Structure 1
Amino acid sequence: MKKAFYYLALLPLMTGLVSCENNDPNPNDGNPEVTTYGAYIVNTGNWGKNDGSIQGYDAKTSTVSEDIYKLQNQKGIGDLQDLCIYGSKLYAISTTSSKIEILEKNGKIIKNIPMMNDANQPKKPRYAAAGGGYVFITAYDGTVSKLDTLSMEITKEGKFEGKLEGLSYNAGKLFVNKSNYDMDGSGNIVYVINAETMEKIEDIEVILNPYTQNIVSSDGNIYVVSAGNYPTEDQPEDERIYSTLQKINPQTYEVEELFKASYITNRGDKMYIIYSEYNFQDKAKCFVYDIKTKEESKFIDISEVNTPGGIIADPNSGDVYIISNPYGQLSEVYIYDENGNFKSKFETGAYTTNVKFVTE
């Protein structure tokens, strides 16, 4: 599909925003009145190039816009790690630039919040999740910040250990991944944090290197992907730690190891999963997991997608969006229906990492 720019046409569609939908249970599961208007495309950009961007995707016309941030603010965003949609605003998280930017739905800056510590060193924020009127942001300095969406001020901060990555909000608790970024072997914890007090409740031990994927599924459980130690063929089998999906009970904190997985997305009873280990591409697959029956079934032949880098389900239509990140090229997004039939694909920006749907 040829890329087209319909920026002005997209703006009326960006209404009725919902919370950081990749972190919260589907609010519209089984509700035919909920409509998907489009999506924001999150382009992280190439490492060190400061060429991240936010694009709008119009689901009705299957067109993707130019960088709405740049069009509205006459400058680039720099790097972009995550984008949280909550209420009527967007929250753009930038690691290298060490900032949070609160944006109008059309991408215009409302407020810039530099993320620096008391010594004026960058905190390097990573990911965001929303709930209870707040947006919570992890950072590489071991902090989780609590941003009041009315005052647009950070009102509280929790200090923990390690490089913090993906997180989810569930019933007044935060579940926060402590990664193995420092390569010291201690990154095998999911912190449970009281979202009101920002104090730690529990350390949950998981498989090494819980990273970006941390979601609340429709069954109320927390699903976390640990990236492992990026095994190679040169390693003995007993030293390999594969990328693995685990389920956490949010009340008892019991952990159930499920199966090898790299990227996950949830809609209703279905979990759509890509397993794509960097050094074992011959074993890559894409399948559906029924969280009630625990049965697995093939979704698509993942070899159709060049360098898969993410999977996201449209909460309304059931369409599944799969990101392709071929080295040295612009990314693409492939769209399949809920049965795995190919529908279309479109080109995006540099290193796409997520698709955030706009619903009401």
Structure 2
Amino acid sequence: MSKKDAPEYRWNSGPFQIGIVPNGGAISRIDWIRPDGNGTINLLRPVTEQALKSGNPSSLGCFPMVPFANRLAFSQFEFDGRIVNVPANRPPSPHAIHGFGRGAEWKIERPTVDTLRFNHKHDDPSSGFVYVAWQEFKVTQDDVTIEIGVRHLGRTPMPYGIGLHPWFPGGEDASVAFVAADCFSTDDDMLPTTRTVIDLGRDFSDGKMIRHHMGLDVHYSGWEGEAEMMWDNAGYRLHLSASDSLSNLQFYIPEDGKTFCVEPVSHVPNVHNHPEFKELGDVMVLDKNETLIGAMTLTPSLIERPDSGLVDDDDIGVAPNRDYSLVD
């Protein structure tokens, strides 16, 4: 176990080794010991020394989003009869993104055998956001659960949102499947503009290869709270499930396809400024000492192949006709 003041703090529990970078509350790695004895797999995108030294949580495996997720237009919104201003934290863009948590220093608490918690406090009376946020790992022999929560400490109520922003390995063999009810059209700044139907290019219900959809960046509402990812060449899959409080999903594949994001979040981006989106995923107004809590569980497993070779099929992911069985 590394020292808490090291750039990366590592913690072992069960078949997992977890790495945390206190700057930004980022998760650098979730290494899973393969049950077949053939080494380990980092369930998140591979971490590099350059990324660890960069001081940028967005270059690592996962970071928290609090007190709002994704983009907030022009870094402001109206609430309770006043304009709330927050920092525009990705210059030169005028918009705020991903909240304040990834720009904070998080404190790691003493772990138990199967639980590790880290937190940070934010105190900005001018905006009204005064809170303590936390992330907590809970490990079993089968899975890792990451809880994210926030407790409002201000004197007057404020609207809160939360989310987790994991980056997963991309590549030629990566596929993903999930089911949702609706998605959104966006403007040039990737801010949602209208609710729309899920067309063929954004429908991942039967599983699709990442490599065929590079550059996709879509927000989904009515998400069923589960996603199935598979890396055929590496021989494993990963099931992601989220709590009911994280009912929306942001799905992003960068242009190079080397990584992709399946982000469980509690609300539609910029819903603060779009009351018509509230029914599709709203922020939660918290009074003093009230909390908003969500959780994401990652369950890895190996693939037993009934045949050899990779079928080059856009629906390879976790399509119903794929007769894959899991190896415990």
Length-normalised TM-score, structure 2 = 0.25
Length-normalised TM-score, structure 1 = 0.23
